[in-house]
Structure 1
Amino acid sequence: MLLATLIHRASLPCPQVGPEQAAQLLEQHYGLTGRLQSLGSQQDLNYRIDSDRGRFVLKICRGDYAAVELQAQHAALNRLQTRAQVRVPRVIKALTGEELLTVAVDGQTLHLRLLDYIDGQPLTHLPHLGREVIAGFGELCGRMSLALADFVHPGLDRTLQWDPRHAQELITHLLATLENLPHRAALEHVAEQVSTRIRPLVDRLPCQAVHMDITDDNVVWQRDAQRHWQIQGVIDFGDLVHTWRIADLSVTCAALLHHAEGDPFAILPAIHACHAINPLQREELQALWPLIVARAAVLVLSSEQQQRLDPDNSYLLKNAEHEWEIFHVATSVPFELMEAAILGSVGEALPPVASQDFAPLLPGLVGREFALIDLGVLSPHFEAGNWELPGIDRRLLDEAAAVHGLAASRYGQYRLSRTCPDSASEPATFPLHVELHLPHGTLLEAPFAGVLRQGVDGLLSLHDADLSVRLWGVKTSLKADSELVKGQILGEVHAPLTVQLCRADLEPPLFCTPSRAPAWQALCPSPAALLGLACDAEPELDPEALLARRDASFARSQKHYYVDPPRIERGWRNHLIDMQGRSYLDMLNNVAVLGHGHPRMAAVAARQWSLLNTNSRFHYAAIAEFSERLLALAPDAMDRVFLVNSGTEANDLAIRLAWAYSGGKDMLSVLEAYHGWSVAADAVSTSIADNPQALSSRPDWVHPVTAPNTYRGEFRGQDSAPDYVRSVEHNLAKIAANQRQLAGFICEPVYGNAGGISLPPGYLQQVYALVRAQGGVCIADEVQVGYGRMGHFFWGFEEQGVVPDIITMAKGMGNGQPLGAVITRREIAEALEAEGYFFSSSGGSPVSCRIGMAVLDVMEEENLWENAQVVGGHFKARLEELIDRHPLVGAVHGSGFYLGLELVRDRQTLEPATEETARLCDRLRELGIFMQPTGDYLNILKIKPPMVTSKRSVDFFVDMLSKVLDEQL
């Protein structure tokens, strides 16, 4: 009887009621008229009505559904109006005062209901759901479950095809009746596994009323002002039933797999959030993944059946692809792995492996000392990118064994050699095994009694009821399926020996990703007890605790990127590497022009440190040599160099030089610009992104002029220079009228803080002439944009065809070594002597000078200026392609390796997409890219990577950027 009911209910086609008929029913029974829009459904028919009385949903289902089931839904809705912390639809009574009507249409007996409409949108077709949204679904499950915990109604005792208690029967029936079914073998295998795992838990699973359809289709969301998704309400109570409590969360998690991008671990935040609100029993946690897999199987089988009954139902066709995706993700990992992950997500764990009864695997080596080789991220064996060499880990173990006789890797030490640059996927860096290099012929014995098996690639494994030990590099004369006693000889070593311990009958990987490491560790614990060897990796510092220590001791105004930043301790070329071996594409570090970890920098610094490092008042060759190198790069008229530690110090000194030379103090600076953090450099900085009080806190000697922003400024286009020059003329006139002497004008020749926007042609020529006419000096702040980064020009001011009086620079000069410079003419430099001598303790030190010269050498030898031009040109062209594909992309600024991508919500009003930009940067970090916003509205991607950046890295960045823009930020 149960199966017959299930089959009947599962095979009901959608009611046949057209829009005109629906409109007649609506006016006849509810007195409503309006515009109707069909809404998708599998077996019911839903119409949205826009009327002058509001927006409603007309729900039509077949009369085969008992009225008491629909009345149960209404009772639940009325209850949730006051009990739940989320909005649910109200039931609208018909003209007769009834909530449920039964009518006949073209020979069909139908049930009719009208509900109010909850504005918002489902997230079904959103490609990516962030962690906070996934957790939001879990929180909602917990709240709904609590609100319905004691709800009872006779209409809840129903036979429903989605009820997981009947999943096995339904799957079995549909498998038997559906011909030409895709993936039949996988479905049959899944059905058997689900049944095996659920059967022992059935009697211990608590039951209650559950919604059974809290999915991306039936939860309505809207974005708030910060572009965060907020739940507006829950709709569609058609699957309300009394069943296992955990069924609700299983349905939600199954739906979320459609957005998981192939990673079933993506659902863990939902489980954690649900458990935090409504704690789940251990048996429920153990049943959860089998129920998710069962739900996936029922979804695809029901969809296949329904499509054959109702081939014109477009809703079914659209959802079929999603449902098969859910099934494939749900069956991509072992049940045991997901059980361990789910338990771990709520702080529970599998029982430990009993290891006290193991016999030694290598009895002849008990008590012998092994060389444990560091293969981790900070290993001293790795330098200059040698970890990228094929087989480097094994070679290091071989070399150690040749010296020490015995060598071993560490279990659970994240391997640097397995990092994957320019990849959105987390690399599998966590070893679930130990590799030992031993004398060939070393005997191995069975650590416990079990059955011997042989697999591919030389795998030899020993299994008992609960455990297996997996071995590679062993030669044996034993036959497969031999039953061994503890201590029996297994074979002998004939190659590097790999040892992996594992629970149950699994085929785990040798390496896993960091996010899966806790779950896999629970299933594949350390083989240390088998080996009698303390070979486990030392525990990492807790990242949250380390960040708390930073915040407790390091001034918090010195911010860090990201709310939960990864711990970065290594870099190589244009990538930064965290402690778990993940490589992040560095798209914002314009300090390391040569890239990270450059061997020349290490060698030059070490050599000079071993000789001398002191202050610049001592006499040594490097300071003269480096100053000469800098002057050779500067315009001919410039003949004096000051060496300092930073761009801030360089700009501060430039302002002092302008004061000393001109005899005045008043400075012109450009709005929206940033020049540093010292008192003087901050005074001429007007970027409200760096200092929200910038515009109201300028001293009276600073005169900001209108920002010559050709994209979103007061005047736009390439012919706007005269309009912007008027602001300069106005301020110069004010200074003259007050009988004050102008000191100078400071400006980035390319608008760095706004993403590398070129100034309008002719702007600096006109401004420099006006400033010099009033006795002021012109300062070109090249700290960010100069030194070859722009590609076509070594200095930014070359683009404007001008020569400044003072050039300031820093950033890439030392490739990370504190190093800055001011270049000017002799008469300006010597004007400062009237105020006393200038001194910078570390500026121009021997180490800094040697590093500065080495940077110039490497830039030339490795053709980095040419790389900035060629690869930078490709970069800009690829970014410009995004303008036609993504409405959010307003413009691409800059050149070479100083680029800006400006995001706007409207290309006419140029409304800045500030919140979208922040979310984009966070999402790029998830995909393995470091990027941060810039500009007064923080809506511009400030793209300034190391100058060694390759075309491959550029393409990866733009592809990921396009992917995120497709995700509807």
Structure 2
Amino acid sequence: MEEQPLKRRTELKRPQLSAEEASAILSEHYAVSGELVELGSQQDQNYRVDAPEDRYVLKIARAARVELEAQNAALAHVAGKAGAPKVPRVVPSHGGEEIVPVTLSGEAYQIRLLTFLDGKPLTGRKHLAMESVAALGDIAGRLAVAMQDFDHRGLDRELQWDLRKAGPVALHLLSAMTDGELRNRIAEAMVGAMRRLQPLMPELRVQAIHQDVTDDNVVGRADGSGRLVPEGVIDFGDVMRGWVVAELAVACASLLHHADGDPFVILPAVKAFHTAYPLTDTELEALWPLVVARAGVLVASSAQQLGIDPDNAYVQHNASHEREIFEVAVSVPSDLMDEAIRQAVGKEAAKTVPAMEARLLPDIDPDHVGIVDLSLLGSHLPSDRWQYEDTEALLLQSAARAAGAAATRYGEFRLTETRLLQAQAPRTSALGVDLCLPGQTAVHAPFSGRIVERQGRLVLSDERLHLHLLGVDPTDTGSDTVEAGARIGTTFGDPGALGFMRVQLSTVPDLDPPAFAAAHQAKAWRRLCPSPAALLGFDCDAPLPDAAGLLQRRRRHFARPQKNYYRNPPEIERGWKEHLFDIEGRAYLDMLNNVTIVGHGHPRLSAAVGRQWSLLNTNSRFHYAAVTEFCERLAGLAPEGLDTVFLVNSGSEANDLAIRLAWAASGARNMISLLEAYHGWTVASDAVSTSVADNPEALTTRPGWVHPVVSPNTYRGPFRGAGSTGDYVATVSAKLSELEEKGQKLAGFISETVYGNAGGIPLPPGYLEAVYAMVRSHGGVTIADEVQVGYGRLGHYFWGFEEQGVVPDIITVAKGMGNGHPLGAVLARREIAEALEKEGYFFSSSGGSPVSCVVGTTVLDILHDEALQDNARTVGSHLKARLQALMDRFPLVGAVHGMGLYLGVEFVRDRETLEPATEETAAICDRLLELGVIMQPTGDHLNVLKIKPPLCLSHESADFFADMLAKALRDGW
């Protein structure tokens, strides 16, 4: 077969041999038979062959023989290289041929048989984790290294995918496009890309490259979390001699339809490729224009191929991906991506803002400009003021009235720009400065240049810098060029009034820079839009946060057993209702924080605490009203008879004290607790805790006085379903009989009243009624641990034990009762409480302090006045229904536990065996963080999402959580 010219090659239809014809070829030339499954391809035809002994790929092509010989030689070459990715192997025919010529119905084809490379292509996942993206770049880099010394005469070929010829290829392909608007957009993008590439071409290194290391052609295996880890490369059909950097450009382009609109998703791949195969400065500069060129050729090529072969399902499916690739590729300036790419590989170029020849606002005294702090921690943004639309303007006006003029800060992550319930990070980093100035303030040119009006802006440009001014009434200078110091305009408004003006610099011609950038893009954008401080004459630069550095400092002094959420945690510095904010202004929905029961930043609670601190804070041995009033309120919430209160600082202390009360009241030491339970960190509360997730040694290190029994987990325990009550009760009865036979007395029984640590699993009906009766008949005391599940969180009940229809002897509570303030309590019958006096008095230095009691009372007031228990019931029921609906769509969702706003979503790999999906759960939590949701796993297997948000959670927030969880499960993690 002769070499086809490029034009003819782009117009070839894909071979269309039937499965019967392919089977006959296999039988005649390879003695292979099996089920055939057609695989997608644009211009070749491929069948997967599932033979009894192995799996193969039958490749049917019209390509020139020398090109196929080059592909086979490349496969063999790469396979022999240490450190290279896995590749298929060529299977010779009966006659020893690696390429078999076949003629059918007058058409000539070249046939090859390759081994099938096991694994799944990355293209099947809409979302690719950063680790998978980096692995794609790494595999492309290692493949380029392996092919550095490969040569073959079949590498020099005319191919539409050769990015060295992207310009003429696009010109040819676009001529046949019928969508005029899209054709023009692609043409414009290609012209821009070629203009940037042209001067770089002579310095771009050339070697043998695969030219198609894409998400379609890289296969991987699922790691423990279910993420795909790339291992091998298939389809060497485009192997050729080309630019090394084109190998990376092709891989990066394929990632853009996994990017959710964000081109910065490619950066881990760039860094990984550069680590494996270091690129030159010129190649780094060429990378993004090549990505844009690849995107344009992809869309144009698919359009033409569908015109030739409209029934090609593979091309039809890929067309939408390729259109998305193009849209993302042209969504940002090339200069921005060039900066981001250089920063990713540590080759950021030095750039400085040239010295200004004059001040922009010479009539404004730099020492009398009020700087308005709109950051997360800014004192100008108390309570919820940040979310009002006119906040920035009002604060600027107030500061300007006091100082004469006012300005915001450059580079600041503005809380006023954040947005709640957003899957993508908002644009919060200011790329310019907003000013509030007297009307008719003179504006002068800080440097000489050409001045134009563009889209409502006044733009002054020289060869290095471009000044964008918004809110300026231009002065007619009589020329489009001005000298430094010349008056170019005034601010709008009367001299006695205040007006607004925005000042922004850009280093890129013809760019209308955005006012704000998302945090992960801000560093690159700041290179394109430097600070205007030099032309304003005063310091307007905000200090940049350093969350990673702060974490290092924390780890130097904060004891290591005190863990933090997430491997790379955001720096959370503020909260509001059910939302948390990181230092860069990103809002997260807090679905985890059962400590803050009435919501973050509650103004009523803040005011009450501030007032009490200003009056008195001491210990409960003094006589003051707050402790009396709070204890009365607590006792009024408990069942009749539980009217005596101890105040402590935490749930651990509450459970520890409850155990001491059980010892004192019973005269015994033996405690029965449940497996999989967690009760605290003090010596006694830890002793009765058996969760191996919290303590891997829990089951082998319990002291002799602790007697765990089987957890009544009706989902994955030894006895399943609501009818398992008797079986679980029998395990407690057996333990009591064992103690009795040994002549040992019982002190008590402690359990959560809903299985909170396992994800909110209700106890089987009647379980506590039967167990409490047995315990009391053996002289023991019953302790209800309500630290996590009580205080209205269940919605349908204030206390968890109410669902079981029982009354315990002791209630322990903490966490939410202080809304984050250290506050816990033990409520007991008076005779049990006073039994402790045999051992001396009890005292907690800050337990029951005036401030703590005011906190507790105010929390109860808010719970009542804002009907938060009712909200937990209605919103919790709605959320549970949304989560249960996910079970029909995603087999990974094994069960939804709980009630109210204490819910658990349990992930399993198999609904029959209930194999816990531990690694998947951790990865899903990481993905949820990226989508703006705080969530962590719980349970002994860490495979349950522990859903326990503030009780003020809105329906909108509940839906956002369900939607984001569905997105993570659908698109991957």
Shorter-chain TM-score tier: over 0.9
Q: Which moved more, 1:128-137 or 1:50-59?
A: 50-59
Give 2:750's aligned amino acid.
Answer: I
1:17 lines up with 2:20 in the alignment: no
1:694: Cα distance to partner?
A: 1.1
Corresponding position of 2:142: 143
Count, aligned residues: 964
Q: 1:274 to 1:509 in 2, by over 3 A?
A: same
Distance 1:489 1:66 in 2: 69
Conservation of the 8 A alpha-carbon contact between 2:589 and 2:934: yes
Distance 1:341 1:831 in 2: 69
Distance 1:216 1:912 in 2: 29
1:670 lines up with 2:669 in the alignment: no
Q: Structure 1-normalised TM-score?
A: 0.98
Corresponding position of 2:496: none
Corresponding position of 1:333: 332
Conservation of the 8 A alpha-carbon contact between 1:350 and 1:522: no
Distance 1:508 1:217 in 2: 35
Give 2:411's aligned amino acid.
Answer: G
Conservation of the 8 A alpha-carbon contact between 1:360 and 1:366: no
Corresponding position of 1:57: 57
Aligned ranges 1:489-568 → 2 under 5 Å = 489-494=487-492, 495-503=499-507, 504-540=509-545, 542-568=546-572
Alignment equivalent of 2:68, drawn from 67, 70, 77: 70
Corresponding position of 2:222: 223
Q: Report the secondary structure of 2:822's partner residue.
A: coil
Aligned ranges 1:591-610 → 2 under 5 Å = 591-610=595-614
1:366: Cα distance to partner?
A: 5.6
Cα offsets for 1:700-720 (capped at 9, x unmatched): 111111111122211122222
1:876 lines up with 2:880 in the alignment: yes
Give 1:100's aligned amino acid.
Answer: I
Q: Which moved more, 1:754-763 or 1:725-734?
A: 754-763
Corresponding position of 1:167: 166
1:438: Cα distance to partner?
A: 1.7
Corresponding position of 1:842: 846
Aligned ranges 1:685-724 → 2 under 5 Å = 685-724=689-728
Q: 1:16 to 1:869 in 2, by over 3 A?
A: closer
Over the aligned positions, Cα root-mean-square deviation in angstroms equals 1.6
Corresponding position of 1:960: 964
Give 1:473's aligned amino acid.
Answer: G
Cα offsets for 1:288-341 (capped at 9, x unmatched): 111111111111111111111112211111111111111111111112211121
Give 1:681's aligned amino acid.
Answer: S
Aligned ranges 1:232-311 → 2 under 5 Å = 232-311=231-310
Q: 1:732 to 1:676 in 2, by over 3 A?
A: same
Distance 1:505 1:293 in 2: 19
Give 2:10's aligned amino acid.
Answer: A
Distance 1:179 1:374 in 2: 53
Distance 1:480 1:624 in 2: 80
Corresponding position of 2:90: 91
1:822 lines up with 2:826 in the alignment: yes
1:484 lines up with 2:488 in the alignment: no
Alignment equivalent of 1:729, drawn from 719, 728, 733: 733
1:543: Cα distance to partner?
A: 2.2
Q: 1:480 to 1:778 in 2, by over 3 A?
A: farther
1:367: Cα distance to partner?
A: 4.7
Distance 2:628 2:819 in 1: 20
Q: Which moved more, 1:78-87 or 1:477-486?
A: 477-486
Cα offsets for 1:876-923 (capped at 9, x unmatched): 121122122221112111111111111122222222111111111110
Alignment equivalent of 2:953, drawn from 949, 955, 959: 949
Conservation of the 8 A alpha-carbon contact between 2:591 and 2:948: yes
1:510: Cα distance to partner?
A: 0.5
Q: Which moved more, 1:952-961 or 1:335-344?
A: 335-344
Runs of 4+ in 1 over 4 A off after TM superposition: none
Q: 1:655 to 1:752 in 2, by over 3 A?
A: same
Conservation of the 8 A alpha-carbon contact between 2:356 and 2:535: no
Q: Report the secondary structure of 1:520's partner residue.
A: helix
Q: 1:552 to 1:356 in 2, by over 3 A?
A: same
Distance 1:144 1:3 in 2: 27
- Aligned residues with identical type, % of pairs: 55
Give 1:696's aligned amino acid.
Answer: T
Q: 1:720 to 1:4 in 2, by over 3 A?
A: closer
Q: Which moved more, 1:413-422 or 1:606-615?
A: 606-615
Corresponding position of 2:495: none
Corresponding position of 1:908: 912
Conservation of the 8 A alpha-carbon contact between 1:60 and 1:113: yes
Q: Structure 2-normalised TM-score?
A: 0.97
Alignment equivalent of 1:808, drawn from 808, 812, 821: 812
Cα offsets for 1:659-712 (capped at 9, x unmatched): 000011111111111111111111111111111111111111111111111222
Corresponding position of 1:453: 452
Corresponding position of 2:583: 579
Corresponding position of 2:469: 471
Q: Which moved more, 1:885-894 or 1:768-777?
A: 885-894
Distance 1:707 1:24 in 2: 62
Corresponding position of 1:28: 28
Give 1:799's aligned amino acid.
Answer: E
Distance 1:368 1:819 in 2: 48
Gaps of 5+ in 1: none
Q: Report the secondary structure of 1:293's partner residue.
A: helix
1:875: Cα distance to partner?
A: 1.4
Distance 2:720 2:619 in 1: 48
Distance 1:307 1:700 in 2: 76
Cα offsets for 1:567-596 (capped at 9, x unmatched): 111111111110000111000100001111
Conservation of the 8 A alpha-carbon contact between 1:138 and 1:269: yes
1:485: Cα distance to partner?
A: 2.3
Distance 1:430 1:880 in 2: 39
Q: Report the secondary structure of 1:124's partner residue.
A: helix
Cα offsets for 1:421-465 (capped at 9, x unmatched): 111110110011111122212111112222222233x32111223
Distance 2:180 2:302 in 1: 11
Q: Report the secondary structure of 1:746's partner residue.
A: strand
Q: Report the secondary structure of 1:500's partner residue.
A: strand
Q: Report the secondary structure of 2:368's partner residue.
A: coil
1:85: Cα distance to partner?
A: 2.5
Corresponding position of 1:441: 440
Corresponding position of 2:623: 619
Give 2:370's aligned amino acid.
Answer: A
Conservation of the 8 A alpha-carbon contact between 2:176 and 2:304: no
Conservation of the 8 A alpha-carbon contact between 2:367 and 2:538: no
Q: Report the secondary structure of 1:462's partner residue.
A: strand
Conservation of the 8 A alpha-carbon contact between 2:225 and 2:923: no
Give 1:174's aligned amino acid.
Answer: L
Q: Report the secondary structure of 1:906's partner residue.
A: coil
Q: 1:240 to 1:480 in 2, by over 3 A?
A: farther
Distance 2:890 2:479 in 1: 60
1:253: Cα distance to partner?
A: 0.5
Conservation of the 8 A alpha-carbon contact between 2:129 and 2:227: no
Q: Report the secondary structure of 1:592's partner residue.
A: coil
Aligned ranges 1:360-399 → 2 under 5 Å = 360-365=359-364, 367-399=366-398
Conservation of the 8 A alpha-carbon contact between 1:118 and 1:232: no
Conservation of the 8 A alpha-carbon contact between 2:356 and 2:534: no
Conservation of the 8 A alpha-carbon contact between 2:410 and 2:433: yes
Give 2:167's aligned amino acid.
Answer: Q
Distance 2:180 2:741 in 1: 88
1:771 lines up with 2:775 in the alignment: yes
Conservation of the 8 A alpha-carbon contact between 2:429 and 2:517: yes
Q: Report the secondary structure of 2:758's partner residue.
A: coil
Corresponding position of 1:755: 759
Q: Report the secondary structure of 1:48's partner residue.
A: strand
Conservation of the 8 A alpha-carbon contact between 1:219 and 1:233: yes
